Structure 1
Amino acid sequence: MKKQSFESQFRNLKTDEIDIMQNRGCVCEEWDRITVPEGFIPERFKNVAFYGDIMLGIMDGRVDSVSGISRKCGIYNSAIHNCIIGNNVYIRNVSNYISNYNIEDGVVIDGMNTLEVTGPVAFGNGVLASVINEGGGREVPIYDRLSAHEAYIIALYRHKDLLLDKLRGMIDAYCDSVRTDRGVIGTGAHISNCGHISDVKVGPSAQIIGIVRLNNGTVNSSAEAPTRVGAGVIADDFIMASGCSVTDGVIIEHCFIGQGTELSKQYSAENSVFFANCGGFHGEACSIFAGPYTVTHHKSTLLIAGLYSFINAGSGSNQSNHMYKLGPVHQGILERGTKTTSNSYISFPARIGAFTLVMGRHNAKSDTADFPFSYLIEENDESVLVPGVNIKSVGTVRDSKKWPRRDRRKGSDKLDLLTFYLLTPYTVQKMVNGKALLEKLEEEAGTATQKYYHNGVKITRAALDKGIKYYDLGIRRFTGNVLVSLLQRNGFNSIGDLRDLFTSCDDYGCGRWLDIAGLIIPEGALNQLFEAIEEGRITSLEDVSGGFRQMHKNYSHYEIAWMSQRLETVLGKRSSEFTVDDIINILTDWIKAVEDLDELRCNDARKEFSATAMVGFGIDGGDEERRQDFNAVRGEEDSNDFITQLKARLKLKQDTVAELKQKLSAL
């Protein structure tokens, strides 16, 4: 609510209105500093102390509680200083005061200590969160519309001085634009039974219930994506994005809380950023970059000084960033899809490859970035890598499918742009690298060697051989996936049409791909954005965000370029030289990889229906009762959704490849 936009519609209080308010226990040393509109109802104010310049709206409505209690709008038993109060506001039992706020229409403030703005402040915008490295050097300035991708660049591209200077300048300009000595409580916000709120801006429809303290922050919110801040919360120097939930005794300091994120059950965090759909319960975080879907549900789980995304941290998972020499200066990277089992431990520095399952304690400073879909296991105090095995896990497939379904963000204004696919040029390129590394290890050490060492991990001969096989299946499957999708989406009537499909794609998709905190894009496209920022062709945060959105939109075009380049490598010829037989052979190879990998995944799922899985069922009966009880609770193998859907999709793919082969053969 801006005073100048409707100031001319307001007038001073009339003498009879002042008399009514005084008779109802209201006091003011300078009544002429209170202005009201026509239709003002003085009877809606009782036991209110007014100080400074006040504008009061029309209070002719009612507010209804969830339990059905209906109360007249107005201000009761409160002290108000330098405030603009909108229409149909309900304020009651403010034990200290409300000072320097614009309180918009329909706001409810029912029981609290203090609500104040202490001077020109930016409401948490510009606060530095020391992420990833607790010792400093990777600080991210948080602000209202910070995306995971912007934060990733600021935290991890410290070597690009000009780029960071430009980005920081844009953020500084934004912080200056929101700096003011007036706070806002947005339309329809609800604040009740709260302690002290100082220098905090509250968005529309936010619910702030029973907090202990909020200091120097912003609670962004909207009618379509309301934010909830609940009982016992203490928050200092923070930004909360729309649609997040922070409740039940959470303590945060120097933190950004992203859209759809839930922190609850006494979780504590400092110097950390949490992006879309994170979940923190019971445990603690210190100096972490929690990319999208970073989740921890358990007590005694610590995430510290690392980069995480799409991760599930098991009970008692811990990391260490301190070697008691130069301080807590070490950092770790757990790439997307990593899981840590109960009581697992990683001594940083370390880098764990995408979709890796970490079990046991690891002190070897491992780097498994080029070995995605692996197990990292502790065995006799050694870190043992089982490369590629996780690609056949039903749990891995299930994760990739559940993430889109568990997107809690509401509305169309989503800050983070997410790539949910399991197989992408990013993960598959790592499989290409991993396969080549395994083959090189085997070649250099000889086929008689039974164990190999690489970047702090041991790989057994059997695991190496299987890893090559698993990576080969994944590479062939993904390459064929993209090819089939391309052929299905586009018509072709000649070999010329077919070749044009491979040459019309965006060259940026060729080469290296990156995971920019949930957004998977080619390095070439990202560098183009960097150049535009450094050269001054992009000068606003909105345009930076627009650049990321365009890359997200272009994913399928970039992906085709990667696939085309891959086929050129496999076939040993340019795409302009591809023949019909080449494409048919690739399709044949693809469906074989699909069949083999799906069979491995079905076998993995069947383990959940084995006799071992039935232990604990049929508690007071024999084998038959155990089986019946198991089937009643878990269902039967033949009717399991995962297995039946996998078989149905396989049949569809087999039919598709048969149709495409027939069409190609007719050219």
Structure 2
Amino acid sequence: MGMFRKSNLTSLGYDFVNREYLLEGENEYTRRFECQLNLHEYRYLTAAEIDILHHNGNYSPNWSDVRVTEQFIPEQIQNSKFYGLVRIGNMSPSFVEFRDLKLPVGIYNSQIISSDIGNDVAIHHVRYLSHFILGNEVILSSVNEMETSPTAKFGNGIVKDGEQESQRIVLELCNENGGRSVVPFEGMQAADAYLCTRFRGDDVLQRRFLEITENQFSKKRGFYSTIGNRTVIKNSNIIKDVKIGSHAYIKGVNKLKNLTINSIEGAYTQIGEGCELVNGIIGYGCRVFYGVKAVRFILSSFSQLKYGARLINSFLGDNSTISCCEVLNSLLFPAHEQHHNNSFLCASLVKGQSNMAAGATVGSNHNSRGADGEIVAGRGFWPGLCVSLKHNSRFASYTLIVKGDFLHELDIRMPFSLVSHDVANDQVVIIPGYWFLYNMYALMRNTSKFLNRDKRQLKNQYLEYDILAPDTVNEMFSALKELEYAVGKSLVQESTGRDQDFEKKGKEQLTDPAVHLQHEIRLDNAEASKRKVLVTKAKESYLVYKRMIAYYAGTMLVEYLSENSIEQLKDLLANLSDMKRGEFVNLGSQLVLKKDLDLLLEDIKSGQYNSWEEIHDYYHKLSANYPLEKLKHAIASYTELENLSADKWDRGFINTLIQTTLETKRWINEEIFKSRSKDYENQFRKMVYDSQEEMEKVVGKLKDNAFINQQADELTLLEFQIGQIKL
């Protein structure tokens, strides 16, 4: 009980900041007065007003420190206690209403300590309100404890004057051993967190990240908790060291401590029953409710935590949902989905548009003697039902993993693959390009689905949701080489040849229409074991990769020619004659050229950037340039695919690409319809319905499918755009 103390009642509400932490000319109210939400001229109470307050059952040991405005109604303050400097804003004879809750303006049955109360605030049955600044028309009803400490940080990873470095709050992302810990701050984006977790061997860069973060905040003590205009808090237990925006709705929480909760009228945040949130930052428009526990976390804008979710030492990107499950030590880029009570995600970097199935256990199993393993997964990562993975593992974009217990580390480098564990034959089987070949409906639906879920109001950072983008196309080029090597190596008895010879022989086999690959094809270095990893459908995958790369280039070209002339395209192609396909980095779901990222990092180290706001402006600049860079990448990709320099493209060559693109779009639409129609034709799907009519009532008619119809509209638009192009 070393924290227990007893002092004179007259000192309650004073000496919030110890004198040793105040500069000359400062007092305990200096930070408070700097952070006002209202500007009022306050006055002392009159003797008549004090009599009314006494008559209404109110108490203060020092009424001279209760200040009010000219619009003060003492009758609307009842059965309450006031300690320290309390300032009350304008009051009117009115009540405020939120949904079915209607409460009179004023202070009733509450205890207020050294706080500023905004205009027309309703405070009812708040047992302890200490060192808060309230905005206008705030509703506080039935709250046990609201308090602020002199070292309040509101979720930011800063150290106040007189504190030790060990008291800094950090997020131990991507790794359980803390080796990639980052310092959280309000406004932190997934890109920021990614940069801070990488480049750990660069001490200068890491030191600059810390300096830039600390420069955003004051180390001084004495900042008050704040609650923005028209925020409602009711039926809650403990709320401590919080900065809450306007129009937030908080009800039935167990504990909110050391938090920034961003909220505005057009993107209000709601926190509901049974939640316990500690040491975190919550973005705009978030929903957190029903028993959520989150500690040391960042929840980005328009994301949700619900139904008993656990989020610990983790960063969750924009437009994501986690419910029912447990996530630890993970950095999750935007559009992450995880809905099932028995799924578990730990020590992982997942680069967006991901989906965790029920029973998936990703990152829980260590193959070392320490908690130092990691899993890195590209966009569209989808571990299926009851998948168990080992540290360390790495997965290319849009990897789908079939139910199974994978006993060894995996390195899946080919995108859009299906990975399965063949238990009977004790081997891993990979189908590269599976999504293109067998489930086009689900794959193509990803792009429109995530675009529709992107609720950001200010989209100045280009988040890439398209399945065909520089990152996935680059992975497909790497996959082409891997398939060539694997096929070539499988044709010889001894593996003593050169890599170039294997690739050449494999390419000959894969591109020869007369060749049908019937033999076993093994993939090297895909699993940390001596057992076989087999590639099936190698030729089909190889050809579909090439087809989708060409489609990517063709769609970008049609989009450009819809707004520009063929002469402008020829000028662009002439300038790209020597350009090679660029390397892109997934920077928090924003794709940036690696050379641009390298430049940013060097400028940060040299001191050219000294705030995260400046760094974010650089992201926005790259976002503005991204459509052109993506077009250049598409042209370079097709140049490499066809081995024809861009300045050699003539009108016939361009027209062939455009027509091939239209053919591929028609094929895609056919595959989309085919893969969805299986759900209407499979007897096992139909057997639970008494008739075709009942099935269509339950699941809808195939002809009414919104996504299929949308794709038909896109095909019509593409046909129109191509028809308008004058070559």
Cα 1:503/1:134, change in 2 over 3 Å: farther
Provide the rounded CA distance (Å) in 1 between the counterparts of 2:108 and 2:578. 66
Q: Deviations over 1:300-335 (max 9, x none)?
A: 111111012211111111124443743221010122
Farther off after superposition, 517-526 or 182-191: 517-526
Unaligned 5+ residue runs, structure 2?
1-30, 158-168, 492-516
Provide the rounded CA distance (Å) in 2 between the counterparts of 1:461 and 1:197. 56
Q: Does 1:343 align with 2:383?
A: no
Candidates 175, 194, 203, aligned match of 2:245: 203
2:429·2:536 contact (CA, 8 Å) conserved in 1? no
Q: Deviations over 1:498-524 (max 9, x none)?
A: 321335689999410121121122212
Equivalent residue for 1:622? Answer: none
1:163 CA drift (Å): 2.6
What's the C-alpha RMSD, in Å, of the aligned pairs?
2.5
Equivalent residue for 2:142? Answer: 111
The one-letter code matched in structure 1 to 2:371 is P
Equivalent residue for 1:456? Answer: 526
Q: Deviations over 1:131-176 (max 9, x none)?
A: 1101111112111101011111111232333333222211112233
Cα 1:61/1:122, change in 2 over 3 Å: farther
Equivalent residue for 2:434? Answer: 389
1:264 CA drift (Å): 0.9
1:641 CA drift (Å): 3.7
The number of residue pairs the alignment matches comes to: 649
Please list, as runs of the form range in 1=range in 2, the aligned pairs for 1:579-618 lying within 5 A after superposition: 579-612=650-683, 614-618=685-689
Q: Does 1:316 align with 2:359?
A: yes
State the SS of the aligned residue for 1:254: strand
2:124·2:140 contact (CA, 8 Å) conserved in 1? yes
The one-letter code matched in structure 1 to 2:111 is A
1:509·1:524 contact (CA, 8 Å) conserved in 2? no
Please list, as runs of the form range in 1=range in 2, the aligned pairs for 1:487-526 lying within 5 A after superposition: 487-492=561-566, 494=567, 497-503=568-574, 510-526=581-597
Equivalent residue for 1:530? Answer: 601
1:416 CA drift (Å): 6.2
Equivalent residue for 2:463? Answer: 418
The one-letter code matched in structure 1 to 2:147 is E
State the SS of the aligned residue for 1:80: strand
1:632 CA drift (Å): 3.2
Please list, as runs of the form range in 1=range in 2, the aligned pairs for 1:32-43 lying within 5 A after superposition: 32-43=64-75
Equivalent residue for 2:408? Answer: 364
Farther off after superposition, 340-349 or 457-466: 457-466
Identity of aligned residues (%): 24
State the SS of the aligned residue for 2:146: strand
Equivalent residue for 1:403? Answer: 450
Please list, as runs of the form range in 1=range in 2, the aligned pairs for 1:188-587 lying within 5 A after superposition: 188-308=230-350, 309-323=352-366, 325-359=368-402, 360-369=404-413, 371-380=414-423, 381-392=426-437, 393=439, 394-409=441-456, 411-412=457-458, 417-446=462-491, 449-456=519-526, 460=534, 462-492=536-566, 494=567, 497-503=568-574, 510-587=581-658
Q: Deviations over 1:622-649 (max 9, x none)?
A: xxxx323223333444454444443443
Provide the rounded CA distance (Å) in 2 between the counterparts of 1:217 and 1:423. 38
Q: Does 1:650 align with 2:715?
A: yes
Provide the rounded CA distance (Å) in 2 between the counterparts of 1:631 and 1:83. 61
Provide the rounded CA distance (Å) in 2 between the counterparts of 1:63 and 1:110. 13
2:355·2:383 contact (CA, 8 Å) conserved in 1? yes
1:143·1:175 contact (CA, 8 Å) conserved in 2? no
1:584 CA drift (Å): 2.1
Q: TM-score, normalised by structure 1?
A: 0.92
Provide the rounded CA distance (Å) in 1 between the counterparts of 2:233 and 2:721. 57
Cα 1:28/1:631, change in 2 over 3 Å: closer
Provide the rounded CA distance (Å) in 2 between the counterparts of 1:561 and 1:225. 36
State the SS of the aligned residue for 1:653: helix
Cα 1:67/1:151, change in 2 over 3 Å: closer
Q: Deviations over 1:63-118 (max 9, x none)?
A: 344465643200111111111111101111122x1111111111111111111112
Please list, as runs of the form range in 1=range in 2, the aligned pairs for 1:114-133 lying within 5 A after superposition: 114-126=145-157, 127-133=169-175
Farther off after superposition, 75-84 or 32-41: 32-41
Unaligned 5+ residue runs, structure 1?
620-625
Provide the rounded CA distance (Å) in 2 between the counterparts of 1:27 and 1:596. 79
Cα 1:637/1:250, change in 2 over 3 Å: closer
Q: Does 1:164 align with 2:206?
A: yes
Equivalent residue for 2:79? Answer: 47
Provide the rounded CA distance (Å) in 1 between the counterparts of 2:117 and 2:96. 19
The one-letter code matched in structure 2 to 1:500 is D
Provide the rounded CA distance (Å) in 1 between the counterparts of 2:619 and 2:238. 38
Farther off after superposition, 214-223 or 323-332: 323-332
Q: Deviations over 1:567-595 (max 9, x none)?
A: 43245444333322221232233333333
Provide the rounded CA distance (Å) in 2 between the counterparts of 1:659 and 1:476. 21
Provide the rounded CA distance (Å) in 2 between the counterparts of 1:10 and 1:212. 35
Cα 1:549/1:179, change in 2 over 3 Å: farther
Cα 1:469/1:544, change in 2 over 3 Å: same
Provide the rounded CA distance (Å) in 1 between the counterparts of 2:387 and 2:547. 29
Provide the rounded CA distance (Å) in 2 between the counterparts of 1:415 and 1:123. 26
Provide the rounded CA distance (Å) in 2 between the counterparts of 1:119 and 1:506. 63
Cα 1:200/1:416, change in 2 over 3 Å: farther
1:122·1:178 contact (CA, 8 Å) conserved in 2? no
Cα 1:434/1:178, change in 2 over 3 Å: farther
Provide the rounded CA distance (Å) in 2 between the counterparts of 1:193 and 1:304. 34
1:146·1:415 contact (CA, 8 Å) conserved in 2? no
Provide the rounded CA distance (Å) in 1 between the counterparts of 2:39 and 2:96. 30
Q: Deviations over 1:595-614 (max 9, x none)?
A: 34443333222212213354
2:182·2:197 contact (CA, 8 Å) conserved in 1? yes
1:276 CA drift (Å): 0.5
Equivalent residue for 1:623? Answer: none
Provide the rounded CA distance (Å) in 1 between the counterparts of 2:708 and 2:138. 51
Equivalent residue for 2:507? Answer: none
Provide the rounded CA distance (Å) in 1 between the counterparts of 2:314 and 2:220. 22
| Higher strand proportion (structure 1 or 2) | 1
Provide the rounded CA distance (Å) in 1 between the counterparts of 2:447 and 2:712. 18
1:509·1:560 contact (CA, 8 Å) conserved in 2? no
State the SS of the aligned residue for 1:272: strand
Equivalent residue for 2:106? Answer: 74
1:225·1:242 contact (CA, 8 Å) conserved in 2? yes
Cα 1:23/1:612, change in 2 over 3 Å: same
State the SS of the aligned residue for 1:28: coil
Cα 1:66/1:90, change in 2 over 3 Å: closer
State the SS of the aligned residue for 1:25: coil
Equivalent residue for 1:628? Answer: 693
1:549 CA drift (Å): 1.2
The one-letter code matched in structure 1 to 2:154 is F
1:123·1:179 contact (CA, 8 Å) conserved in 2? no
Farther off after superposition, 105-114 or 638-647: 638-647
Candidates 156, 164, 176, aligned match of 1:134: 176
1:607·1:613 contact (CA, 8 Å) conserved in 2? no
Q: Does 1:28 align with 2:60?
A: yes
Farther off after superposition, 376-385 or 443-452: 443-452
Cα 1:615/1:568, change in 2 over 3 Å: closer
